[in-house]
A and B are shown apart, each in its own frame.
Chain A
């Protein structure tokens, strides 16, 4: 599959009082055409920062891309001027945010929030843009779209607003959609609907999707590949099946264990991951997960492990896969 986006060794930091939060520390991944990948992790794991870095939406200062490359359709986005980025945002890459209640401007009619991008990127007239916007609203499953066009965000429910956000993000038919926790703020029943809309739209438009979530349940229904992030690093990547069937990083395992499963017996409790992520102002020298890891070994605290590759698509960064670890364990 031909990648439309490659993220190479991305480092992003935030300046705060008392130091620099190293939010993203050497992230690598790529997204293929028409592919849906998920970036999974707890809050603060750097997944949102990564996504927003692609769009160059993180405010700078205080944030700063220290190093790395983001190659989109063969061009490094990090070297684009603001003007050039404006031409890419919304047109080639669309984005949906977590909270549909706050992502729409409360004082502007919903329709106009959709047409704004169309008028800018596709030089449509107001009339044409309105036609397209109504079309989009219909596509994302909003009934009575003509009337809805003239309403304000507060007249929409949360789910409906997220549909509008999808319509906005996809109005210009971008080749990549970044969805930053699009369902987190929604009711469970609505979540499924939104995911369906996204899937449906992907089929219709052939868009690649980066889905950012902390919810592995969402991943299962939607994605081709999964990237697990922890403390600013990618700790495991793999296809959906590899991750679910054969999670190779204790953190991934932990995430899966904390998820209710249908085949789970009643007595088997859900197991949370104890502890909290490390302070990224002074990231640990070793494996960042060591402090919370039940399998932690002495080496974990000292040295951050390199990736262990299991297949073309599957890798994890964990000392447990080191040959020596296997020996110690079996001995």
Chain B
């Protein structure tokens, strides 16, 4: 066997005994390894920060939210004032996004619409979250018979075609924002509850939970201190992705004439209103349609980015 034994001490010449004095542990310029020392959340956040596309989407979302808040205020028009002398006007200095069939300013209406759509999307997602987490948490935590019954119930509910229930609900109850949100959440929470259930079931047998339990932690503490925070990743991702779903569903309901009440408009209902004449007044469809698409895009991309950031499988 020949080992690489060439000039074993090529630099020996320059070495001095001083070089061979021991370094005290305190002086060591020890490698500080950053990766392990930061919390999983910060880690995820940093990964997210590095994902330029996802951050772009987040910035876009924030801009949309901001515009939805201040957009209607910086215009001198109100979203519901008709001007029959100025109907279907092209975009101009006077009306930045043009006017609609009743002469209402499209700029104000578009941002008001965005506001309504966001409210619908966010409320529906948050209600899904609330019910889903509680229901799913109970299923996952208690398991056994409780889980079996509750799970079967949600499966049965899930089998009911959602469109049907939604339409029926919207016709039965007074139309309005509340009803729409209710209709969207009636089956929307099920998916969330299943995700929470799956996570909790996986987590509850982990060592630290067992340890905590052996130390006498109560169910509530276990669920809220240990289990849910650790299941937060998939929950947040699902939440992010369910916002655009709700916005889209509302648009779909608008198409069926079951959307929000005029003169209030959502992006979906505005697109639908413009649909019959869009070839002649393209701006009436274009602005809300682009905004709805961009919102959808941004939520989806940001959600994907979040998933990547929170998914430990992709950690390198």
Interface SS of B by simple majority:
loop
Cβ-defined contact, A308 with B8, below 8 A: yes
Cβ-defined contact, A298 with B33, below 8 A: no
Cβ-defined contact, B23 with A301, below 8 A: yes
Q: A17-B50, A301-B29, A303-B11 are in contact. Are A322 and B20 (CB under 8 A)?
A: yes
**A298-328 vs B: 1/0 string, CB under 8 Å?**
1111110011110011010001001011011
- Bound complex: CA A17 to CA B25 (Å): 32
Residues of A contacting B36 with CB < 8 Å?
276
- Bound complex: CA A130 to CA B23 (Å): 63
Residues of B contacting A309 with CB < 8 Å?
3, 5, 8
Cβ-defined contact, A297 with B28, below 8 A: no
Q: A279-B33, A306-B8 are in contact. Are A324 and B3 (CB under 8 A)?
A: no
Interface size class of B (residues with CB under 8 A): 20 to 34
Q: How far is the CB of A279 from chain B (nearest CB, A)?
A: 7
Q: Does A295 belong to the interface (CB within 8 Å)? A: yes
Residues of A contacting B21 with CB < 8 Å?
297-298, 328
Cβ-defined contact, B19 with A307, below 8 A: no
Cβ-defined contact, B17 with A315, below 8 A: no
Find A313's partner among B1, B9, B31, B50 (CB 8 Å cutoff).
Answer: B1
Q: How far is the CB of A51 from chain B (nearest CB, A)?
A: 19
Residue on B with the closest CB to A297?
Answer: B20
Residues of A contacting B9 with CB < 8 Å?
306, 322
- Bound complex: CA A132 to CA B20 (Å): 61
**A3-14 vs B: 1/0 string, CB under 8 Å?**
000000000000
Cβ-defined contact, B8 with A328, below 8 A: no
Q: Which of B19-43 contact A (CB under 8 A)?
A: 19-23, 25, 28-31, 33, 36
Q: Does B205 belong to the interface (CB within 8 Å)? A: no
- Bound complex: CA A40 to CA B7 (Å): 26
Q: How far is the CB of B130 from chain A (nearest CB, A)?
A: 37
Cβ-defined contact, B19 with A237, below 8 A: no
- Bound complex: CA A295 to CA B30 (Å): 14
Cβ-defined contact, B15 with A324, below 8 A: yes
Residues of A contacting B22 with CB < 8 Å?
295-297
Q: A276-B36, A298-B18, A301-B23 are in contact. Are A324 and B5 (CB under 8 A)?
A: no
Cβ-defined contact, A296 with B23, below 8 A: yes
Interface size class of A (residues with CB under 8 A): 35 or more
Q: Does B206 belong to the interface (CB within 8 Å)? A: no
Residues of A contacting B20 with CB < 8 Å?
297-299, 319, 322, 324-325, 327-329
Residue on A with the closest CB to B3?
Answer: A315
Q: How far is the CB of A264 from chain B (nearest CB, A)?
A: 25
- Bound complex: CA A296 to CA B33 (Å): 19
Cβ-defined contact, A279 with B1, below 8 A: no
- Bound complex: CA A307 to CA B2 (Å): 12
Q: Does A98 belong to the interface (CB within 8 Å)? A: no
Residues of A contacting B33 with CB < 8 Å?
276, 279
- Bound complex: CA A300 to CA B11 (Å): 13
**B16, B17, B23, B33: residue with the most chain A Cβ atoms closer than 10 Å:** B23
Find A276's partner among B1, B15, B25, B31 (CB 8 Å cutoff).
Answer: B31
Q: List 27 A-B contacts (CB under 8 A).
A: A16-B316, A28-B4, A276-B31, A276-B36, A284-B31, A291-B28, A291-B30, A294-B25, A296-B23, A297-B19, A298-B19, A298-B21, A303-B11, A306-B6, A307-B4, A307-B5, A308-B8, A309-B3, A309-B8, A313-B1, A315-B3, A322-B12, A324-B12, A324-B15, A324-B16, A324-B17, A324-B20
